[in-house]
Amino acid sequence: MSQNYRELPKKNFIETRDLLLEHIGEPGFENVPLEQCCGRAVARSYFAPDAVPNFARSPYDGFALRSVDVELASPDNPVVLKIVDEIRPGRVSSKILSKGEAVKILTGAPVPQTADCVIMHEKTSFTSTAVTVTESMKPQQNVVQIGEDQSKGCLLLSKGTVIDPAAAGLLASQGFSEICTYRKPRIGIISTGDEVQEIGRHLAFGKVYNANRYLLAAELQRLRFDYEYLGHCSDDPEQIAELLGTGLQQCDAVITTGGVSAGDYDYVPEAMVRCGVDVLAFGVKMKPGMACCYGMKNGRLCIALSGNPASAMTNFYAVAAPLLKKMAGYAAVCPKMFKVKMLNDFSKTARADRLLRGTLVLENGVCEMVASREQGNAVISSMSGSDLLAVVPAGHGPVASGEILDAFLI
């Protein structure tokens, strides 16, 4: 099958992505210290082992008292209570409140069981021994109830949720010090192409610096995946196959750039086949990013992208990133599509879906987009600052300013 990759039917980017997603299984999991788990997905659902807070607590500095004692309190009928204790946060009072007694209480301290409400100190007058109350209080007024934040047994995070800072705080509030998360995929990067030269020395005529290596590395850093640069190959099928083979042993996924069109020296798909990769997609109906090749070997993913930076990255965002997220165990892997109103026009037409890069503008209460002025395959300069891709459907004519397109964040 994979031998005849040139005959694989070309699909659009959503069909291609969804077809490939089916081939990616659930990753392994491992326990990770809480401080290192941000950006990883939890490998099981987390439920609250305890209520938070697990004691009734005071939300203010003030006085804990029995509401029955101040039932008739008013400015005309001030009630004076005797202060019998002071409760600081983290401390417990052993005092049992009798009629006419109150305890001074600080924010976060446990409300004694024999009190049933808290009055803010600003609403009282007080000395070190007595507090005067001039208003009535309801039972449980100003008492943070047990489980007000998290009830015991409630769902904290469902399986596959990516841990954000608040989720890390949530897990900490329940005392979890190690979190069962999915393994992060380790991703190898290979650059190919006789014209590609590493940075660090003078550029020879006819050569271009290796920008894709840094683009991809930075994108993988942004996604918090681990990566390694495996090296550069010239346009030589044996050399490519050798490095790709090494990569597929060391890494969960390998991404190559260059050598993936249908030209005479586009040896990457051939090298994939030589390595025993089952090619699942060769090319995708999109522009830029049409040239690509995707395959699997023993659960490991091989992603061959174009050597043109804008093509490579557009295909990466549309197809590759969701696959890598699935390899990292994320429950939500596909970007959400939403409507944007174009603030400028774009004259080129395309037979395939065209993905326009640009900037999301939210300032007018509507979702608008400024498409980058340069949309060429090889243009890097217009990519910086872009935060979304809008889809001009296949066969659509020129896009006018004011038109509504589907888009997704990158």
Binders of its own copies in range 69-88 (CB under 8 A): 88
Amino acid at 228: E
CA distance 153 to 125: 42
In this complex, which beta carbon is closest to its own copies, that of residue 29 or of residue 265? 265
Smallest gap from residue 59 Cβ to its own copies (A): 7
In this complex, which beta carbon is closest to its own copies, that of residue 97 or of residue 296? 97
| Near its own copies by CB under 8 A: residue from 43, 103, 109, 117 | 109
| Near its own copies by CB under 8 A: residue from 334, 383, 396, 403 | 383
Number of neighbouring beta carbons within 10 Å of residue 166: 8
- Is residue 236 a contact residue for its own copies (CB under 8 A)? no
Smallest gap from residue 122 Cβ to its own copies (A): 9
- Is residue 165 a contact residue for its own copies (CB under 8 A)? yes
Please name the helix (run of DSSP H) or strand (run of DSSP E) that holds residue 346, with its range, or none.
none
SS3 assignment, position 79: strand
- Is residue 392 a contact residue for its own copies (CB under 8 A)? no
CA distances from 380 to 59, 204, 374 (A): 54, 20, 9
In this complex, which beta carbon is closest to its own copies, that of residue 216 or of residue 284? 216
- Is residue 174 a contact residue for its own copies (CB under 8 A)? yes
- Is residue 292 a contact residue for its own copies (CB under 8 A)? no
In this complex, which beta carbon is closest to its own copies, that of residue 9 or of residue 90? 90
Binders of its own copies in range 180-209 (CB under 8 A): 193-196, 199-200, 203, 205-209
Amino acid at 317: Y
Tell me which residue of 324, 358, 354 sits closest to 341, measured CA to CA.
358
- Is residue 343 a contact residue for its own copies (CB under 8 A)? no
CA distances from 365 to 46, 151, 219, 361, 407 (A): 36, 37, 29, 9, 17
Binders of its own copies in range 305-334 (CB under 8 A): 307, 309, 313
CA distance 62 to 167: 32
Smallest gap from residue 109 Cβ to its own copies (A): 7
Smallest gap from residue 335 Cβ to its own copies (A): 11
Contact (Cβ atoms closer than 8 angstroms) between residue 279 and residue 8: yes
| Near its own copies by CB under 8 A: residue from 334, 367, 370, 394 | 367
- Is residue 119 a contact residue for its own copies (CB under 8 A)? no
Backbone angles phi and psi of 253, in degrees to 5: -150, 150
Tell me which residue of 75, 71, 93 sits closest to 132, measured CA to CA.
75
